[in-house]
Structure 1
């Protein structure tokens, strides 16, 4: 048996009574989890950024045709009143049929009015009025679009776009009293210096005007324009008599102050020469006065 062997009983007694009284050579440092120093881990805060809310307006030059016009598949409704590219007027045309009646490579079907605001001669709304649409070439529609954008651009730049153009609608079989009222409105627009487009078409419900009545109506409209000083028809009518026709007029604002009359070239030259002579005389008189004062000063000395 080894000399280092300690019986189990003795070992147990030693561990219970002797070992606790002994001082260890190296003191033990007992640290429990709750005695350990407490370190907090700080998460990095997200960078502070300022959010700027911006609204972007589409540049005027980037406006599409569909921003200003309703045409082709954007037209709402099952039936329409159609004006062909030759000015022929047809009522109650199925929309799908109208969309197949022209070359869609070169033309558009443009909606002129939605029909919702149609009123009769007495001012009452016409129930079930159909949209009025016209076949127009893409070149002409693009020209109208360019003109609209130019007006918008000038307005934003503060240059002014001039008076707005006005539209006036008549029908070939219009009653005399209603015609007089519409012609007075035409006079008012032209006196303000506006451009006016007079759209004449068949009556939606009612009799069809004769050719003589149509020509008489044109004479009355043009006669009204001729009565006004400076008003004129600015281009040829678009359309046919008895169908749909558009007349184009432009007035002159008679209330505007006229620019001063230019003087004849010879008279202006004469006035300029007289001003130069007077200026030379004043310089000469001032020089003589200075010399006289100088002489008087020397004499006093």
Structure 2
């Protein structure tokens, strides 16, 4: 009895596929290409890195990479004081170093005069029984004035504050100035000196040649009136010596004291009033 051939034999199926497609592929001249997958040139972040040139085992390198940084880091914790202390119980350390009985922090702060003293945390408590440190946080009373003095001494000498800013002004006169203008300039000079300004007073001949020049008596009267104003200004000094000659060019370097002017004596005031008409008459004649 002959056996029937299995229709689903894998060998027969493959033979039929390749033999039947061979003439068609030779005649058509086409090449069937299977789709390919693009392979990345660089390894992805998820793929494990390959050690190209390494003399150490991989386990040792991984242990170095996973090692924690145990270097000490700078702490920016602020010192706890007064109501910033978070612990409900504290032990107060006295000046001789002894520790008192545990007290409630609120009770200590209630009895504390915060205007003169402050409660400062010295040693925090231990975290658990296995850790080292005191059972209760240790605090101490600090005198605020003494603490401020110690901090100031540690910072070094305090720089001296700069004095008030020096304000400089200039007042110019000419020897032939009219009496009314002279009084106006003297009032301005007195205000500058009252405010403590530094004033450079210049008395000279007119710049234009066409203007008349003062006589000797007029120049002396102007100089006398300036000196009278300076005598009325209490505390006015000269920060530099006076320069020049009367009827030529005189420069005065004045430093005001910041004090108001004193009223001139009656005799001086009357003499000044008597000299004004004489000066006006001289100007009228000339």
TM-score normalised by the chain length of structure 2: 0.34
Larger radius of gyration: 2
The higher relative CO (CA closer than 8 Å, separation ≥ 6) is in 1
